[in-house]
Amino acid sequence: MTSFTIEVTRHALKCVSAFSPEMAARLAFRLFSVTPSRKPSSGKEKAALAVAGPVMARAHPLTLSYAGGWVMARHFRAQGDGVAKRVLLVHGWGSRSDYLAKMIEGLVAGGAEVVALDWPGHGGSPGRTLTMPAAVRAIDAAWRHFGGFDVAVGHSFGGASLACAAGGLVCDVPSRIAKSMVLIGAPSEMTWLFKGFGKLLRLSYKAQAALEGMVVQLSGRRVEDFDAARILGRLTVPALVIHAEDDKEVSADHARRYAAAGANVELHWANGLGHRRIVSAPPVIDRINAFIHAEDRRAAA
């Protein structure tokens, strides 16, 4: 939002909150969950979509339904006839699977079968809103269709969503735990997002409490329960966390929280790649491939 829009929104929410903090919270939550425009906002994004076109054209597209909607998925079959690792790949907020085309190419070339999801309100999926419970349900839809995944890879919001899905945080959705996980530039907990958003809009104490209470209504869990780092440590599955200390959107402190969560978490710094370029960088893709296939290589040796 522009500074002018923020000021107008703050004033409007303050007026509403004066007689109904709950109504102010509902309006704020609507703003919180509205997804950005799908149209590329720059020449760089248009060029990235053009480059991704031939890669995405090789996929088998399919729709996956869940309670409340459906999402678009793209299935990339593995090269060769051997047994391939099945990878679930999810993008971040305001992105789409097309922007992960280089990673898809690299994972498939490395011997993996890849399923890439577009979140609700993103890419080829319908809607204009996205919440963590909806993301968990979309992951569950992929799990039910494909019968599980060997590896789950997520960037930013996608990484946190995979951890929350593995933790079984949405009360009517079973835990969906891959055999190993890769989180790239991912937030380690959701409280900071809600607190930061409330601070941005200068919500009153009662409106902030009501805003966080909406998470309970949607998921059956408190916002504090959506702690991806704590979940990752509790799961004990091998996890690779990749982050850049120069990431300006998700602080590197989140990566440190993941690394401190348990001995199963390995932290890899990809400094200099920020928050977005990190998903297309060849060294990062090589590191993920090495992690995915490490067990197979040890067995072969």
**What confidence score (pLDDT) does residue 159 get?**
98
Half-sphere exposure of 262 (CA within 13 A, CB side): 15
Say if residue 257's pLDDT is above 90: yes
Q: How many helices and strands (H and E) does the chain possess?
A: 12, 8
Say if residue 79's pLDDT is above 90: no
Instruction: For residue 181, give both structure tokens.
Output: 């996980």
pTM (2 decimals)? 0.94
By percentage, how much of the chain surpasses pLDDT 70?
Answer: 97
Cα 182 to Cα 291: distance, rounded to the nearest angstrom: 9
By percentage, how much of the chain surpasses pLDDT 90?
Answer: 87
**What confidence score (pLDDT) does residue 71 get?**
98
User: What is the rounded average pLDDT of the residues 261-280?
Assistant: 97
pLDDT digit string (tens) for 98-152? 999 999 999 999 999 999 999 999 999 999 999 999 999 999 999 999 999 999 9
Give the chain's largest Cα–Cα span.
69
Q: Which helix (H) or strand (E) holds 211?
A: helix 205-219
Say if residue 2's pLDDT is above 70: no
Q: Which helix (H) or strand (E) holds 109?
A: helix 101-109
In 3D space, the residue among 190, 189, 197 whose CA is nearest the CA of residue 1 turns out to be 197
Residue 242, helix vs strand vs coil: strand
User: What is the rounded average pLDDT of the residues 221-249?
Assistant: 95
Domains of the chain as residue ranges with CATH? 1-34+191-224 (no CATH), 54-188+226-300 (3.40.50.1820)
User: What is the rounded average pLDDT of the residues 51-63?
Assistant: 96
Query: How high does pLDDT run on average in the chain?
Result: 94
SS (H, E, C) 116-159: EECCCCCCCCCCCECCHHHHHHHHHHHHHHHCCCCEEEEECHHH
> Which residues does 188 contact at the CB level (< 8 Å), separation at least 6?
160, 227, 228, 229, 254, 255, 257, 258
Say if residue 90's pLDDT is above 90: yes
Say if residue 301's pLDDT is above 70: no
Say if residue 299's pLDDT is above 70: no
**What confidence score (pLDDT) does residue 84 get?**
87
The separation between CA 226 and the C-alpha centre of its own chain, rounded to angstroms, equals: 13
pLDDT digit string (tens) for 19-46? 999 999 999 999 999 999 998 888 889 9
Say if residue 298's pLDDT is above 70: no
Q: Choose the weakest-confidence range: 8-12, 86-90, 156-160.
A: 8-12
User: What is the rounded average pLDDT of the residues 179-207?
Assistant: 95
Q: How confident is the model at residue 295 (pLDDT cuts 50, 70, 90)?
A: confident
User: What is the rounded average pLDDT of the residues 69-76?
Assistant: 97
Say if residue 195's pLDDT is above 80: yes
**What confidence score (pLDDT) does residue 110 get?**
93
Say if residue 296's pLDDT is above 80: no
